[in-house]
Amino acid sequence: MIKYFFNFFKIIVILAIIAVGGIILYVKLSPKPEISTANSLILYDNNQEVFFQGNESKEWISLNDMSDHLINATIYTEDKNFYKHFGFDFLRILKASYINILSGSTKQGASTITQQYAKNLFLDFDKTWKRKWDEMWYTLKIEANYSKDQILEGYLNTINYGHGKYGIENASKFYFNKSANDLSLAEATILTGIPKSPSNYSPLNNYELAKKRQLLILELLEKNGVITEKEKNDAYNEKLEFSGQDEKEELSTLMYYQDAIMKELKSIKSIPTSYSENKGLKIYTNLDINAQKNLENTIKNTIPENSEIQTSVIMMNPESGGIVALVGGKDYNVSSYNRATDSMRQVGSTMKPYLYYAALENGFTSSSTFTSEATTFTFSDQSNYSPRNYNNTYGNKPISMGTAIAYSENIYAVKTHLFLGSDALINVARRVGITAKLENIPSLPLGTNEISIMEMAAGYSAFANLGYKVEPHLIEKVVDSEGNVLYEAKNNKELVLNSSLVYILNNLLTATYDPDYIDYNYPTAISLASKLKHTYSLKSGTTSGDNWNIGFNKNIVSAVWVGYDDNRPLNTSEYKYAQNIWFESVENYEKGKEDQWYDMPKNVSAVLVDPISGKPANETTKNKKLMYFIKGTEPNVTDQTFDENYDNYIGT
């Protein structure tokens, strides 16, 4: 019986050896993976100038030009059996699995350097069985076709060291202003700790956490006899001087744009998730580098450096939907979280233009009036809702839609919303591209729902385009290294709103900084009246923790959000940040251009009115302003205030 089992075991081993040998032979005979060009990306701005080059970087250096401290720290931290295995460390896998089962977690990893390199070069990071199979396959192909030194050299030249720095030479110059060959033990172990989680272990982001990881790496080196205890202690206690600058003085916000490109790239179905077959990609984008630079400078000059407040900004060409500038945070070096693509916030009163378009579509005009007064709305279930105007300021008289927009009146907005029915606002929002959840509640026009800044910018672009919806995008074209076009943006436009009504709304949205609307209150952006050199439609939005400004003309839509990640309330001075960023960025973008506004449609007429009441002006009217109406809907002195006979609520 023992002899039988021994022979059976011997046969299994022989078959396993044959199988492994067959796999290795097949891998050897299969096409060699091109690690020098795989996953290489060249990004171009809207002038076809290169602004990022990955994996073809001029900063690629040989293993001989890297500090021995760095090489040892990397090997003993990431894969101490690197030179002994064929891509997979099976003992380490078993050990990690055992520890994870006992702890009920997945804290222990077992990826080798080759596996990590394969993942970085050829794969996306979706957690699927196919991706794991591909990772295994590429690992074997790399091991079969390249020496260990070539693999380690490639790995160290391509991994992410945080702050947009890929490769050890780029990282060494950024953090310590020196070549990777000159790194001390202390500097090398700090850098080695970063790739595990660049946003957490960067010493510029979290020095204490970086030092804890450095100590762990130093202890591993001591345990394996690479350094002595004294060397460990000296390195840990060495005072480090960080540069945190790069020779090219790259924009600290540009990485937000680059990250957004990579996110969009993964969503394009014609681009395979593995770039290896394409041997690199050339990606042509809508980036306007001057707009991005001016935007970053404006943010730096507006928000105090020591403040924890954050911002996100999208500047979009409304004609095409091309995003010319994008900021996902105050400083990528401090926080790489991209609020422009990944965050949703309450939008406040920037929701109201969708409501007022719905009102115009349902028979309202620029002069349609509701009474501005403290109001409690009582519903059929006897529940009450008592919204308030900012600072509890009310006119206690009928006011026009123009006045409601100028002051961002909440009472007027809720009355309009209830008068129309909630479906009207939601329908318009959906038509212009808002996909976020919108609750059927009385406060919907006050922006109590959360929406992404990308969707808000896209929604306003339909106003900027006089009713035509466009898809926001960063990428215009993707070409492989052989010149084959893999993708090209279609830039389709779809008419979703009535152009004449949008023209009327766009003029109403200039009331936010128009001195003609000064009466019992001031327009919300009146401080910009003397500063703006061009005409814009503009709306602000405010909640306790969010401040928005979204404005546009024919050439540009700019959406700005400011707030804290933890939703803490803004103080009074911080509510001006979004407006200042918006104003500076759009005026810089429009600098040197003539002020061009929309042509009045043939079915629209201009009438002199009292802007506050909306009534036609006469010889005794003190303040007269041109307001716009669909022909046949011009105001007259007998027009009633909408809430005079409106009993869906009780005014108190």
Q: Is 178 exposed, middle or buried (0-12, 13-18, 19+ CB in 10 A)?
A: middle
Of 252, 320, 336, 349, the catalytic one is 349
3-class DSSP state of 432: coil
Cα 436 from Cα 434, distance rounded (Å):
6
Of 67, 78, 252, 584, the catalytic one is 78
**Residue from 334, 287, 295, 302 nearest 547 by CA:** 302
Q: Which residue type, as a one-letter code, is found at position 257? A: Y
DSSP H helical ranges for 179-319 = 185-192, 198-201, 207-223, 229-237, 254-267, 289-302
Cα 199 from Cα 206, distance rounded (Å):
8
- Contacts with 193 (C-beta within 8 Å, 6 or more apart), sequence order: 77, 201, 210, 213, 214, 216, 217
Cα 213 from Cα 559, distance rounded (Å):
39
Both tokens assigned to 350: 């920037």
Cβ(300)–Cβ(313) under 8 Å?
Answer: no
Cβ(457)–Cβ(286) under 8 Å?
Answer: no
In the chain, % helix, strand, coil (3-state, to 5) comes to 45, 15, 40
**Residue from 354, 585, 320 nearest 449 by CA:** 354
| Residue 78 is among the residues annotated as catalytic for this protein | yes
Both tokens assigned to 648: 């869906």
**Residue from 36, 487, 481 nearest 280 by CA:** 481
Cα 309 from Cα 59, distance rounded (Å):
35
Query: Quick one: which H or E segment has residue 604?
Result: strand 604-609
**Residue from 148, 149, 122 nearest 134 by CA:** 122
| Residue 36 is among the residues annotated as catalytic for this protein | no
3-class DSSP state of 96: helix
Task: Report how far apart, in Å, the C-alpha atoms of 194 and of each of 25, 247, 580 are.
Answer: 37, 21, 36
3-class DSSP state of 99: helix
Cβ(170)–Cβ(59) under 8 Å?
Answer: yes
Cβ(222)–Cβ(229) under 8 Å?
Answer: yes
**Residue from 187, 166, 186 nearest 178 by CA:** 187
Cα-flanking dihedrals φ and ψ of residue 546, to 5°?
-135, 140
Cα 486 from Cα 488, distance rounded (Å):
7
Cα 556 from Cα 589, distance rounded (Å):
8
Q: Is 105 exposed, middle or buried (0-12, 13-18, 19+ CB in 10 A)?
A: exposed
Strands annotated E in 317-409: 323-327, 345-346, 369-372, 377-378, 384-385, 397-400
Residue-wise over 221-252: b if at least 16 C-beta within 10 A, else e? bbeeebbeeebbeebbeeebeeeeebeeebbb
3-class DSSP state of 562: strand
Q: Known catalytic residues?
A: 78, 349
